[in-house]
Amino acid sequence: MSHIDRRTFLASTAAASVVAVARPLSAKAPELLIPQGVKPIVVASANGHRYKNGGAKTGVEIAFEKITKGDDVLDALIAGVNLCELDPADTSVGYGGLPNHDGVVQLDASCMHGPKKRAGAVGALEGVRTPSLVAKAVMEQTDHHLIVGKDAQTFARNMGFKIEDDLNTEQSRKTWLEWKRRTDPSRYLDPIKREAAMNDVVRQMVKEGLIDEQHVYGTINCDGINAKGEICGVTTTSGLAWKIPGRVGDSPLVGCGLYVDNDTGAAGSTGRGEEVIYINGARTVVEYMRRGASPEQACLDALKLIAARYGNDREKLKDIDVNFYALNKRGEFGGAAIWNGSMNSRGELRRRQFAAHDGREGRLFESAYLFERRG
């Protein structure tokens, strides 16, 4: 076999490469996936555009502004949800969130960074108003995804977070005391009757305006994408109102209350966490988008899995409230709920909504839905 020196070898391979691309014009050229600029988008649960904590901007407006100024997408989203966590008027998250059965505010949060492929979360955290920032510290300072309970508080303390004895506000404590007063007479009922009695009390308190119907389950989810196509997400909550101490829902569970895939999109949820956990909700929404569904349709398809568990029986589903929010790699977004809304004491329908900054302004959008309430 003849010897081929390096110069001859390089020349021959270069010639071969020229031949390889010199195909007839009629041949189909390979498809090139060239990244294109994406319009920045922020999508969130409705409270992302309802609270300002005394300032001029809502959470989605703050997040969008920071994204378009070049901030890291996750930092921008967390700044947006911090507004709700710190606002005592939002009783679904952070400071002043509705407490557990014993009157203690326990908080859950998770965050995911698409480009970095990292995640962090905390569960049943007490004493820190901004659990989303503690979740980010878990992501950045450890190789873990989730830290819970008293050890989550210890971790937060070690990271320099201020620990407070009580995160109740006067309003959240007053609401809890009223709930205790109404439910204690049914303390000795069997479990099924007790659950029904507690649901009746909650419905009545909602009708009387004592609590926001959407704050029974709490939570804010916020997802965003920048012009580079970088996607991140965060979910934070005070959890189910008056829950059993230590109960953790979907919000801090990666793939349930939040999921981000930088190649596809992001999704998150609010509402009854146990239902979302059962179907691995946020991951399921992202997978539907991966297969080609729009964000709105992906949310609806995931909700159909929940409804199917109950045979699509409206009576069995009447107390089940789940909402999904999603955006994809192209900057398209959507939201959907099991129900079109809820009825107030005057028989008026309050429609399900979600928040977004669509590049022009932050505003509320009506959610798609599976079922209509008829009074």
Which residues participate in catalysis according to the annotation?
219
Half-sphere exposure of 270 (CA within 13 A, CB side): 34
Cα distance between residue 202 and residue 199, in whole Å: 5
* Parallel, antiparallel or unpaired: strands 322-328 and 265-271: antiparallel
Q: For residue 327, what are the β-bridge partners?
A: 266, 333
Cα 291 off chain centre by: 21
Cα distance between residue 41 and residue 36, in whole Å: 15
∠367-370-374 over CA atoms, to 5°? Answer: 95
Q: For residue 326, what are the β-bridge partners?
A: 267, 334
Residue 99's region, left for phi above 0, alpha for psi from -120 to 50, else beta, is: beta
DSSP code for 160: T
Cα distance between residue 16 and residue 199, in whole Å: 74
User: What are phi and psi for residue 261, nearest 5 degrees?
Assistant: -125, 115
Tokens of 157: 């303390």
The closest alpha carbon to 93, from 109, 104, 71, belongs to 109
Residue 209's CB is within 10 A of a number of other CB atoms, namely 10
Cα distance between residue 26 and residue 13, in whole Å: 25
Tokens of 18: 């020229």
Measured N-to-C along each axis, helices 281-290 and 295-309 cross at an angle, to the nearest 10 degrees, of 130
Cα distance between residue 126 and residue 154, in whole Å: 10
Residue 14's CB is within 10 A of a number of other CB atoms, namely 10
The closest alpha carbon to 231, from 334, 118, 342, 319, belongs to 118
